[in-house]
Amino acid sequence: MNVKTLCLGILMFGEATGYDIRKMTQEGQFGHFIDASIGAIYPALTALENDGLVSCREETQSGKPGRKIYTISEAGRRTFTASLMEEPRGDVIKSEFLLVMCCSELVSREHISNVMDNRLADYDKKIGFLQEVREHCTHPGSQFCIGAGLTMYKALRNYYSENRALVEDVAGRAQDFRLASESETQ
C-alpha cells in the first residue's frame, strides 16, 4: 500500500492538510497501522491533485504559511474503493525492540531495563491516545480498528511487564547464554 492510497484513505474521513495526515498516522486513529513520513505525503498529495483524485483549497492566514486543505474527489473515492477490493497483503511488522530483547545477553542489564521502561511508557501513551479517540468515535470501522489497536497494545504491555525478567536476567551474560552459532561452530 503506497502513500498515495493511504492519503486517499485518510481523506475519505474528511478534508485535511498534509500536516494533519502526518499527525493522524502518528497519534490518531490510524497511528497503529498506517505509516507515512511527511516527506512522502507532500509529493503524494501533489501527484493526487494532478491526477484529479483530490482537490485543493488554500487558506491564507495572516502571517502563517497558507494551509493547503485537500478534499477527495468523486474519482478519488472510486479509485480508493477499487483498491479496497484487492486482497490485502499480510501485515508488516518491524520491531527493533524485539531484536534487542532477543539478543539481550549481548548488552547490559541497564540498557535492557531502560529500553523496556521506555517501551512500556510508550504503550501507555498510545493506549491513552486510542482510548480518547474511541470516545469521540461513532464510525463502526474506526471503532473496530481502534479496538484492535487497544487489544494489541494492552496484550503486549501486559506480556512485557510480566515477562521482562526473562530478558533482564540474562542481560550481559553472553558467556552463559551463547547464541547457537557460538556453541556449534567453535
Q: Write b or e for each residue in 39-48: b if 16 or more Cβ atoms lie within 10 A of its Cβ, otherwise e.
A: ebbbebbeeb
**Sequence-separated (6 or more) residues with CB below 8 Å from residue 125:** none
For cell 497511528, the residue is 31
Measuring CA to CA, which residue among 4, 23, 24 is closest to residue 13?
24
Asked if residue 23 binds DNA (CB under 7 A), the reply is yes
Stretch of residues binding DNA (CB under 7 A), selected from 62-70, 74-82, 100-108, 156-164: 62-70
Using the rule CB under 7 A, is 154 a contact of DNA? no
* DSSP code for 12: T
Minimum distance of DNA from residue 57's CB (angstroms): 10
CA dist 163 and 88 (Å) reads 33
Nearest distance from residue 177's CB to a copy of itself, in Å? Answer: 6
Binders of DNA: how many residues, by CB under 7 A? Answer: 27
Q: Under a CB-based contact definition with an 8 Å cutoff, are residues 76 and 8 in contact?
A: yes
- Nearer Cβ to DNA (34/112): 34
Partner from DNA, a copy of itself, none contacting 161, C-beta within 5 to 8 A by type: none
Q: Which is nearer to DNA, 66 or 147 (CB)?
A: 66
Minimal distance in Å, beta carbon 174 to a copy of itself? Answer: 9
Please report, as ranges, the residues that interact with DNA according to CB under 7 A. Answer: 2-4, 17-20, 23, 35-40, 42-46, 62-69
